[in-house]
Amino acid sequence: MIHFEEVSVTYEGHEAPTIQQVQLTIPEGELVLLIGPSGVGKSTLLGTVSGLVPHFTGGTLRGRVTVDGRDTRTHKPRELADLVGTVGQDPLAHFVTDTVEDELAYGMESLGLAPHVMRRRVEETLDLLGLADLRDRPIATLSGGQQQRVAIGSVLTPHPKVLVLDEPTSALDPAAAEEVLSVLQRLVHDLGTTVLMAEHRLERVIQYADRALLLPSPAAAPILGTPAEIMAISPVHPPVVTLGRLAGWNPLPLSVRDARRRATDLRARLATRAPLSTSQAQHDPQPPTAKTSHKKTRTGEPTETGGAGGYDNPAEGRVHPERPAAEGISRLRAALRLRRGTNATPPRAAKAIATATVKALGVRRARIDALRAVTLTLTPGETTALMGRNGAGKSTLLNALVGMIEPTTGTVTVNGRTPHRTPPRELIREVGLVPQEPRDLLYADTVAAECAAADADAEAPPGTCRDLVTALLPGVPDDTHPRDLSEGQRLALALAIVLTGRPPLLLLDEPTRGLDYAAKARLADVLRDLAAEGHAIVLATHDVELAAEIAHRVVILADGEVVADGPTADVVVSSPSFAPQVSKILAPDPWLTVTQVREALA
């Protein structure tokens, strides 16, 4: 269906090609998953199929891409519109009209299909994607999962033979992601659509793929194979594969179901041991060398890293993720200590006083109770994961804690102060929030200017922020424009800026959105270290693997109410939607992460 012949793409202003030597054929009716670390050219490869690369983005394409016999060099994206449907990560950037039904019809209108054909296909698509109840609704009022389904539906109505999806579930909660993936599954099975999809969150998608296409490093030739084959060599892999590699299972299991069937002996081996409690594992200040010693160095053996999926990079010139992380952490510690020294602040971890208390908090917005009677106490050194579906009130709670929202009822106190009555200048020394879009925090043209501004804002000694940046983000020059940073780097910069005010309470909203496993592992290390330093940390996240990895405590919100609150292992193990993969595989024993299992077996 899709043929790549010696394809390479070079963008203007770049010397080296972004992708090269792509030589492969994707047969009809397959769901092909495109995997690889950030920045290896996944989006570029996807763009060549729809013709947006190079017709829309610019750059030079060498070689030839044909889709169902049509050459993308001679066919513009609009002339491929009846053949290729493209859906991106942000559905809102995809919509042209304002109601669901119009959106579904838009593509067909452009192609000039007859009205009765359009009508029939819209009805069919509404049923296929379960959107019939939403047909007249304005798109802006839909939830994320619904929007993504509408986006997929809108490219399905012209009956394309190929569907290209760039991280379709990244921004969705687990349930909404399931919704979208089951639709894709159905398309492949019932309609024979060829699907080419890139996704970071492999734990969600790998079991649905017929084939996997691995881009191991920038400008390296891609490798096409069955998911199990690719997973055996892939530098990025979900926890289930990491566990499979650790246990030496062959072929590697890709789904929890496969893994569970083979895990009998592993469960037996682990039965005699108990996992280190999450908090113990995290407070344990492992020296960097201890971690590296876990790596198997024998050639041919896959190397293992962080538990929330692994990452190892065979490419030369790219630094190993773990080393800079470890190095960064020691520097971070130095930076924090330095600040402690200059400010003579006693280590907060010693105190058992609550950093923040939320009492019977209620927030109402436009007749909707966003939060209802939420009571919560956050203590120093504790990492709390705030989970729940989109719209459950996670962000509202975080915003109330930083005073961006005034409580309707109840009280919020952070270090004895009421956030929404505290002037911003003083508040940043009590509580810091890294928003969902870290870019929102960045105004300046360069990293250095951003740091200087942060120091001035927080009245911290000059250089404080820059030290933090160096610790969190080694090797970023001062004159880099924040826009040119990758998602993970931008997050680290925003985190450094927020930490400049030394807030004892640190809040992060959806920090792993758009991060690959490497960036995620680094973030986990950094947060764990901050918690050990005595920060109280609250993460609002959909990422169950991250929560399992670093959170001591999980609070689940639903419809603005707290429905579960307790130690991670207790809350998460029994839950079908919030349990991490390892926990699902090894249930009923309370194992949460591959790291725990590895340490127990060692």
Partner 1 sequence: MPTNDEPPQQGTANTPAAPPATGGTPTHFAQPPTASTPVGEPAASGVPTHDPQPPTASTPHKKARGAGGKTGPAAGQPHPRRPRAERRRTPYTTRSNALHPGAWWLWAIGLATAASRTTNPLLLALLVAVAGYVVAARRTDAPWARSYTAFVKLGLAVVAIRLVFNVALGSPIPGTHTLLTLPEAPLPDWAKGIRIGGRVTAEGMLFALYDGARLATLLICVGAANALANPARLLKSLPGALYEAGVAVVVAMTFAPNMVADVARLRTVRRLRGRPTGGIKAILQIGLPVLEGALERSVAVAASMDARGYGRTAHVPPAVRHTTTVLTLGGLLGVCAGTYGLLAAEGARYGLPVLLTGLAAALAGLRLGGRRSVRTRYRPDRWGARAWLVAGSGAAVAAAMIWAGTYAPDALHPGVVPLTAPELPLWPALATLLGLLPAFVTPAPQTPQESK
Give residues 420-449 in contact with partner 1 (rule: CB under 8 A): 424-428, 432-433, 435, 439-443
d(Cα 166, Cα 18) in Å, to the nearest integer? Answer: 17
Q: Compare residues 105 and 256 and give the one whose CB is closer to partner 1.
A: 105
Q: Minimum CB separation from partner 1 for residue 127, in Å?
A: 13
Tell me if 130 contacts partner 1 by CB under 8 A: no
> By CB under 8 A, what part of segment 385-414 binds partner 1?
399, 402-404
Which CB sits closer to partner 1, 135 or 262? Answer: 135
Pair of tokens at residue 97: 């009209």
> Judged by CB, which is closer to partner 1: 81, or 181?
81
Residues in 70-129 at the binding interface with partner 1, rule: CB under 8 A:
76-82, 84-86, 88, 90, 92-99, 101-102, 105-115, 118-119, 122
Q: Per residue, what are the HEC states of 263-281? A: CHHHHHHHHCCCCCCHHHH
**CA dist list (Å): 292 to 278, 295, 324, 327:** 20, 6, 12, 12
Q: What's the DSSP call for residue 303?
A: P
Report the run of H or E that residue 336 belongs to, with start and end: helix 322-343
Q: How far apart are CA 86 and CA 107, in angstroms?
A: 11
CB nearer to partner 1: give 218 or 432: 432
Nearest approach in angstroms of CB 173 to partner 1 is 17
Question: Of the two residues 124 and 457, which places its CB atom closer to partner 1 in the complex?
Answer: 457
368 binds partner 1 (CB under 8 A): yes
For the segment 476-495, give every residue that binds partner 1 (CB under 8 A): 483
* Residue 289: Cβ-neighbour burial (10 angstroms; 0-12, 13-18, 19+): exposed
Would you mind telling me the total number of residues written for the chain in this entry? Answer: 602
Ranges within 24-53 binding partner 1 (CB under 8 A): 50-52
What's the token pair of residue 37? Answer: 């670390």
Q: HSE of 194 in the Cβ direction (CA atoms, 13 Å)?
A: 15
Footprint on residues 453-472 left by partner 1 (CB under 8 A) = 453-454, 457-458
Q: How far is the CB of 248 from partner 1 (least distance, A)?
A: 45
The minimum distance between CB 447 and partner 1, in angstroms, equals: 15
Question: Hey, which residues between 243 and 262 contact partner 1 (CB under 8 A)?
Answer: none
Asked if 582 interacts with partner 1 (CB under 8 A), we say no
Site string for partner 1, 144-173 (x = CB under 8 A): ----------xx--x---------------
Angle at 218 between CA 213 and CA 224, to 5 degrees: 15
Stretch that binds partner 1, among 177-185, 246-254, 419-427, 543-551 (CB under 8 A): 419-427
Which residue stretches of 79-135 are H helix? 100-111, 115-128
Helix pair angle (322-343, 464-472), 10° resolution: 160
For partner 1, which is the closer residue by CB, 80 or 308?
80
Instruction: List, in order, residues 6 or more apart from 505 with CB less than 8 Å away.
Output: 355, 356, 378, 401, 414, 415, 430, 431, 432, 535, 536, 537, 538
Closest of 430, 425, 439, 438 to residue 401, by C-alpha: 430
557 binds partner 1 (CB under 8 A): no
Looking at the Cβ atoms of 101 and 533, the one nearer to partner 1 is 101
Kindly tell me the burial class for residue 262, based on how many C-beta atoms sit within 10 Å of its own C-beta (0-12, 13-18, 19 or more). Answer: middle
Residue list 182-241, contact with partner 1 (CB under 8 A): none
What is the separation of C-alpha 597 from the centre of its chain, rounded to a whole number of angstroms?
23
How many amino acids of this chain bind partner 1 (CB under 8 A)?
Answer: 77
Could you identify the residue written with the tokens 């000039």? 112
The stretch near partner 1 (CB under 8 A) out of 20-28, 130-138, 197-205, 589-597 is 130-138
Q: How far is the CB of 163 from partner 1 (least distance, A)?
A: 12
Residue ranges in 287-306 that form contacts with partner 1 under rule CB under 8 A: none
Is the CB of residue 110 less than 8 Å from the CB of residue 96?
no
Cβ at position 586, least distance to partner 1 in Å: 39
Query: Does 498 sit near partner 1 (CB under 8 A)?
Result: yes
- Minimum CB separation of residue 227 from partner 1 in Å reads 28
Is residue 304 within 8 A of residue 295, CB to CB? The reply is yes
Q: Given candidates 14, 23, 60, 140, which one binds partner 1 under the rule CB under 8 A? A: 140
- SS3 label, residue 474: coil
- DSSP letter string, 29-46: T-EEEEE-STTSSHHHHH
Q: Nearer Cβ to partner 1, position 80 or 325?
A: 80
CB of 9 to partner 1, least distance (A): 16
Sheet of 162-166, strand order: 84-87, 162-166, 194-198, 31-35, 211-214, 223-225
- CB 119 → partner 1: shortest distance, Å? 7
> Closest approach of Cβ 466 to partner 1, in Å?
16
Least distance (Å) from partner 1 to the CB of residue 383?
20
What's the min distance (Å) between Cβ of 536 and partner 1?
A: 17
